[in-house]
Amino acid sequence: MVPVARVWVTGSADGIGLAAAAAMAADGHEVLLHGRNDRRAADAMAAVSGAIGAVAGDLASVDAVRTLAVAANEYGPFDAVIHNAGVMIDDGSRRPVTDDGLELTFAVNVMAPYLLTALIPQSGRLIYLSSGLHLSGRPDLDDWQWEERAYGGTQAYCDSKLAVTALAFAVAALRPQTLSNAVDPGWARTRMGGSGAPVPVAKAAATAVRLATGTDDAERISGKYFSRGVPHAAHRLAGDPAFQGAVRSACEKVTGTPLG
């Protein structure tokens, strides 16, 4: 009999997060859901039969992420957390700025999982949703917020996914007792990916589910980047301790919270 795991999935009102949460709940695991506001959290709760609850919080806001962590911790401790939530801005958009003055893609895709990792008691397993586009990351370490450069939404997304992959690797090194990995779900049929994407959403969620709840030795590894369900080589910077440090420093600067 597979042990029951308690798992929190961010961004689980639709798409890959919803598919992952539904699959784990159907297998008898205790799943906490998340939506960016009360309505989205209620939508998630209605969609996943057997979920233990849903918490709401806007991942674009530092203060909201702090409040969200408090709410999530009421359901903890967790055996695993899947940092699934993410955004991608069209290239035609102006640089989007949060109420904290952060570039939106960085805030949701990097700052939020960093701060939640710092504020949620250490879990046995952490899964960070990356993308094959992280291989096209070209971050400017002096301009994480795109204040000096002409804004490009796709490039900001690529850079953010490189940063969160590096975060996954950094956590693996910082917390040897935690299995921390990054996962490329593929080009999936979600609102972000579009209806013409080749990967069904359930298949896109499968690797994260396996890493969160699996009991085989293949699921008990850390510091890896998974693509097509197996470890693959990541961008060279993701494994560079100096770059990992730069990601942590950028997040600590905007949150005021170190990652221990």
Q: What residues are annotated to the active site?
A: 157, 161
Residue pair 234/89 in contact by the 8 Å Cβ criterion: no
Angstrom CA distances, 77 to 56, 194, 196, stand at 18, 35, 38
Listed in sequence order, the residues at least 6 apart from 13 whose beta carbon sits closer than 8 Å to its beta carbon are 33, 34, 35, 36, 40, 41, 43, 44, 47
Angstrom CA distances, 187 to 47, 86, 91, 152, 165, stand at 23, 14, 18, 20, 17
Sign of the torsion angle spanned by Cα atoms 102, 163, 246, 153:
negative
Half-sphere CA count of 103, side-chain side, radius 13 A: 28
Distance between CA atoms of residues 129 and 185, nearest Å = 7
